[in-house]
Amino acid sequence: MKDGFENLSDYDFERLVADLLTAEWGVHVGSFPKGRDGGVDLRVLGPADGPLQLPAGAELVVQCKHRPAAIYRDIKSELSKEALKPIIDQVARYFVVTSARLTRNNKKSIVELFANRILEADVLGIDDLAALVRRHPEVQKATPKLWMSSGIVLMTLLHHIENLRSTYLRDELRRLRLTFVETGFVAKARELIEDLGICILAGPPGVGKTTTAHILLLQLMADGWEPITAIGDVRELEAQIAPGKRQVLFFDDFLGQNSLDAKLRVGGDAELVRLMRLVESDHTKIFIMTTRDYVLRQAQQSYERLASDIFDTTRITIKAESLTLHEKAHILYNQLYYSPLRFMASRAPSREYLAVAEHPKFNPRLTEAAIALLVRSAGLNRRAGRSSKLAGDQPQEGTELTLLDVPEQLLQALKRPEGLWDHVLRHQLTELQRDILLVRFSFGTTVIRVAELYEAVRKLYALDGRRCLAVDLDGATSVLDGDLLRLSGKDRSLATASGLNPGLSDAVEAFLLQYPEHIGSIARSAPYYEQVRLLAGLCGYDGRNQPPFGQQILPGLDDQLVRPTVLNPRRLDLEHDILGAVVRTLFDPGATAIGATLIPAKFPWYRRSAERLRCYLWICERTDAVPSKDIFERMVDEVLENIHRMPSEALLGFVRMLRPDIVEEWRPTRTRFEVGLLDYMSDPDDVNDWSILADIMDEVPVTDDFRSEMAFRFDRFAQAQLEELVSQLEDDPQGDEDATLDELKSVADQWNCSLDTNDAEELIEQQIERERAEAGSPEDPADSLWTHYKEHPRQSPGPQPGRLFDLL
């Protein structure tokens, strides 16, 4: 149990004590609302029946001392100061509650320290608290940090964390177990999950949607749910689903961090909606996703299926202004409590931190980033954890750390958030360190090999005839690793580099837009198409097949640059740099993609042929360049040569890319491609390919005879599939036959084919009834996690925001 208390901040500990004593005494134990507590953290006002027997007007007070892993000797000096406070003689009863370990003799010594004005029974140490927790398990359950640190729950949680496929997510969940604050958004999300099994957390950058999702994920994992995650594609989730097993699906930033970076490939919108519908009808599955609001709105304009009502009914929009003052103060408090700035932060009065929490631009990510930068500027090592420079050991007076005005620095970060990382990029990094961040940004959010990052940096330096040695790159990345760059793996030949954290990514983007010459340099040197595509996005390319003219470049370039019709040399030079880069990298495999299994793979360029061709045509139109017939013919030749290696969705995407008006010289080649494609696709062997073929025939003109022949073939295929499905159901197999039947019926609608599915549907219903009977009576709602939170709300709201920071 001691480990559980170590995971609590002072404030969390005080709230826990209030809840435990409320449950033990059967009376409301409230927080003391006034400034410096004067020896009072919690109190009970009489009259109170039960074990307390307080008369009317009498007052009982509780002083909390959170010192996990401490013994009596460590807290004696603090208790000596408490013993001098007049409040002890002014109340009917005075309790001392501490997370330090106390023996019976220690308690006798504390009573003597207080001149026998308190009772030995009113001194509680960690063992007494552990006994109260065992006696009141409902309080433990309502204190997620404590509950998730107990016994089997902790082992289950850690097992799940270790088995997560995303190293970054593993690290984030470990960190979050200490710092998280359960806001009202968490409760709303739990209710939505209980009702529908799906929750989409949307909101602007930095507001806490990913943190909220991580809290939900932790709570579900601690309750026995197995997490499965996707990094870049919804199919990663489908591949890990196990029928009948309690699994929570998690897809962070499922549409990317901007519209250009959208993670849905061709057909991915249909797959996502289908997966959501499956989860909605399966009580053993939960689906949690996050996205930025504006990215979702833009994606819904591009992907028709994303306009489905399921995205409205399952979405919660998180806004910083919707957080209560208490929640903002608690978030800020925990961020400071678990940082090396804790001691310095304690020197400022609470009202200054309240000014930070009340600021109209309060944003959890901004405050966390500001704290990280202050730690960095002060030369402290965040990774050291509770090191000698943390709260326990006070730095000498007059040092840089003691002179730091923490709340003022936080306020400045909120007043001018764009300057938070800007100062780092301009003044706190060497040129090489900054260039590494700029180049890493150009790869987007894809996890890449460090070796590929190094190659791109070397190419950039080679533009000016400069050399960049491995020892210099290793030294620079070792400085950046942590707050600025996240690397995994000690062997640099195998190590990977994740995308920049969203706050820093936004700052790097703003820096590039302010200094577009860096965009041009990276474009001219970029060895990978992924880099070029993202840089084109900074110039207005949004990844969709729309004319570029009349659209604005992303905000940030100067007034002349944001107007494409103005013949500005800087704009033209930049766009010609990107055109040259697109042509140079068009047929290269691209950077290594690290998937959910962390197995690197270089995808052949033709698997992304539609998107690459779209980008090429966009930049040609942008620069008034004539699209090359040779390039298009080479592209078609290689696609047809490798057609058996391409996903059907990629082929459909290529068709759709070519159907709008294209260059006149390209039309014969387009016809040659479409004839070859229809010949290849004319005998599908699975339901998905039949669906893709129907979509292709909606795009490509075909003869009536060909359409009739394909419809006849599909009818034979569908009947065979239906007979096989009925046979499987009669054998009562384990699997998701209901979803299979739904998919077959959906594709039959595409082909205007009538299927007699009565036998299959009857067998599926019988299978469902058998599963219900085998499962027995449904779980008692009172035993479920979500119902517990509803039926056992906190009895005490904890300390008021006005005095929360006194606990530092």
Does position 81 have pLDDT exceeding 80, yes or no?
Answer: yes
Rounded to whole angstroms, the Cα distance separating 84 from 688 reads 78
Furthest-apart CA atoms within the chain: distance in Å:
103
CB-based contact 768:737 (threshold 8 Å):
no
Does position 266 have pLDDT exceeding 80, yes or no?
Answer: no
What's the whole-number average pLDDT of the chain? 78
pLDDT in tens, 484-514: 788 887 676 678 888 786 667 878 988 998 8
CATH fold of the domain at 147-322: Rossmann fold (3.40.50)
User: What dihedral angle (degrees, nearest 10) is formed by the CA atoms of 71, 73, 76, 77?
Assistant: -120
> Residue 163: what pLDDT?
53
> Residue 739: what pLDDT?
58
Range from 180-194, 402-416, 581-595 that averages highest in pLDDT: 180-194
Rounded to whole angstroms, the Cα distance separating 161 from 178 reads 15
Residues 6+ apart with CB under 8 A from 357: 325, 328, 329, 332, 801
- Say if strands 59-65 and 226-230 run parallel, antiparallel, or are unpaired: unpaired
Rounded to whole angstroms, the Cα distance separating 454 from 527 reads 11
CATH number of this structure's domain 2-136: 3.40.1350
Q: How far is CA 388 from the centre of its chain?
A: 32
> Residue 305: what pLDDT?
74
List the one residue out of 514, 560, 559 whose CA is nearest residue 538: 514
Mean pLDDT computed over 263-282: 76
Q: Which of 23-27, 469-473, 606-610, 722-726 shows the lowest mean pLDDT across its residues? A: 722-726
CA distances (Å), origin 9, targets 211, 504, 592: 18, 28, 42
First to last CA, the chain: 23
> Residue 675: what pLDDT?
94
pTM above 0.75, yes or no: no
Tell me the two tokens of residue 329. Answer: 């103060």
Reported confidence tier of residue 692, pLDDT bands at 50, 70, 90: very high
Q: Which of 233-237, 285-289, 732-736 shows the lowest mean pLDDT across its residues? A: 732-736
Does position 399 have pLDDT exceeding 50, yes or no?
Answer: no
Mean pLDDT computed over 25-33: 79
- Say if strands 42-45 and 600-601 run parallel, antiparallel, or are unpaired: unpaired
* Alpha-carbon radius of gyration of the chain: 31
Rounded to whole angstroms, the Cα distance separating 94 from 116 reads 11
The verdict on whether omega for the bond into residue 47 sits within 30 degrees of 0, i.e. cis, is yes
Does position 522 have pLDDT exceeding 60, yes or no?
Answer: yes
Q: Name the residue ranges covered by the structural domains of the chain.
A: 2-136, 147-322, 325-417, 424-623
Identical fold, 2-136 and 147-322:
no
Tell me the two tokens of residue 591. Answer: 């950077």
423 vs 609, more confident? 609
Does position 158 have pLDDT exceeding 80, yes or no?
Answer: no
State residue 71 phi and psi, 5-degree precision.
-120, 180
Task: Enumerate the β-bridge partners of residue 316.
Answer: 201
Does position 263 have pLDDT exceeding 50, yes or no?
Answer: yes
CB-based contact 681:696 (threshold 8 Å):
yes
Q: How far is CA 491 from the centre of its chain?
A: 27
